[in-house]
A and B are shown apart, each in its own frame.
Chain A
């Protein structure tokens, strides 16, 4: 079970590190694009709403795997060549952004209309009232769903192995297929599951803590 344990830990550690930073950067990208999307969803200007709806519709209906293939194999043919990890972040980020946008939108809509009216009445523009009054409050209500989006993103990140990113699942696959059969299959499988738990369980824990603090602040 524990043959070549140090080699296995080394390989999985490298994979885990790649998974963590790809997920983190993708999530930041998703939050930024998602916040923009949410603002467009609730915008008074119809074209903004149409763009947001089209974007969300696209990414909620096309599988992430297809998106990664289109980015990695398709875009170079029209001249855009990037290394796999960049496509991975673009794919994961834009995909998750659609869901972040939906979540933030419902968060915004859950804020009492009175807040928006009060903001207008003290002279803030639509953009300013969103940035300073509405969104900060909306973020607090959306912490639990954002937390589960992050957990989902960690799991989705395993897909980027198909475009050649050496993340955790890719390393596991390499260990399982090792020519010299150096690694025990079950050790690898359990190790991978353990790694994903190591990443996701703390996320759930911190989300719950943040939730409780947000409630208290109200």
Chain B
């Protein structure tokens, strides 16, 4: 009896130490994030005077905007396990849209007017079509072929496909060096087609998502990971000693990120285009950038030119 009681006390002491160490690290990170938020400030986006009929009116009536977002991509859409908040540039665009529709952003509690739902490259199309989400803001590129199936507002950010390798890799310095190498890309991603075109000799392997690919790269099972530079940058930020992204001159595709919604929602699309343009003009887009990509060291690019295409 005496032994087990002592063992229990020791166990509790160890657990308390371990927990305090873990939470110490987490609260440090949280402090850094709060400080960045304070430096950047709040958005000046205001509620629109008129809300068009259709999708936007439905959202206003329901009282909540439901956004499909990535949960596992740093800088773009990442769920903070401590605060349960979604962080990243895509999430900030979602918040700007919420401000535009409702005038304020409430993410918690019964009166929440913004809800995030996790979407992946594989289920995002299904979720738009069956109404699980109103829009998808999740590093979704506005390829011309996709405009036949969905409406896209934007682009709200412009990036391109690049390659990420181990930090100590000297063999691969350009996309051409990928001939015969194992490249990991997420299943269902547009990056597969782009890589096949750019370097048909690269051996493309697919895994469930980019987090799995990054893990596989770290393990040495794959030689490189290739997708949008923004996504790659997010992994480098998390583990700067493990990964590096190839020089910008290697970027080989156009990835215009857009807000995706059901096909035919022309008025909603134009409403969102106006919101995005407003964010370029009033400095909110720059704030969102500083809070996310900028905070990780990326140089601020020019704001993209909005593509208000003819309705199909």
Given the known inter-chain contacts A73-B216, A164-B206, please indicate yes or no for A174 contacting B145, CB distance below 8 A: no
Q: A164 with B219: in contact, given A177-B187, A179-B193, A181-B149 (CB under 8 Å)?
A: no
Q: Does A137 contact B (CB under 8 A)?
A: no
Q: Are B221 and A81 in contact (CB under 8 A)?
A: yes
Q: Considering the complex, which residues of chain B in the window 130-177 have a beta carbon less than 8 Å from any beta carbon of chain A?
A: 143, 145-146, 149
In the complex the two chains form, is A81's CB within 8 Å of B143's CB?
no
In whole angstroms, how far apart are the Cα atoms of A81 and B143 in the complex? Answer: 37
In the complex, A173 Cα to B188 Cα: how many Å? 8
B221 touching A174, Cβ below 8 Å: no
Contact across chains for A170 and B206 when beta carbons are under 8 A apart: yes
Query: Is A179 a contact partner of B184 (Cβ separation < 8 A)?
Result: no
Q: Given A164-B207, A179-B193, check contact A81 B145 (CB 8 Å).
A: no
Determine if B219 and A81 form an interchain contact, defined as CB atoms under 8 angstroms apart.
yes
Interface residues of B in 190-205 (CB under 8 A from A): 190, 192-193, 205
- Interface majority SS (helix, strand, loop, mixed), chain B: mixed
Q: How far is it, in angstroms, between the C-alpha of A170 and the C-alpha of B207 when the chains are bound?
A: 10
Instruction: Give the interface residue-count category, chain B.
Output: 20 to 34
Which listed residue (B187, B190, B192, B221) contacts A84, Cβ 8 A? B221
Interface string of A159-194 (1 = CB under 8 A from B): 000111010001001100101110000000000000
CA distance A84 to B208 in the complex (A): 14
Q: Does A202 contact B (CB under 8 A)?
A: no
Chain B residues near A164 (CB, 8 Å)?
184, 205-207, 216, 221
Check A83 for interface membership: any CB of B closer than 8 A.
yes
**Which A residues touch B212, using CB under 8 A?**
73
In contact, B149 and A162 (Cβ under 8 angstroms): no
Known: A81-B221, A162-B208, A170-B206. A73 touches B215 (CB 8 A): yes
Interface set of B (CB-CB < 8 Å, partner A):
121-122, 143, 145-146, 149, 182, 184, 187-188, 190, 192-193, 205-208, 212, 215-216, 219-221
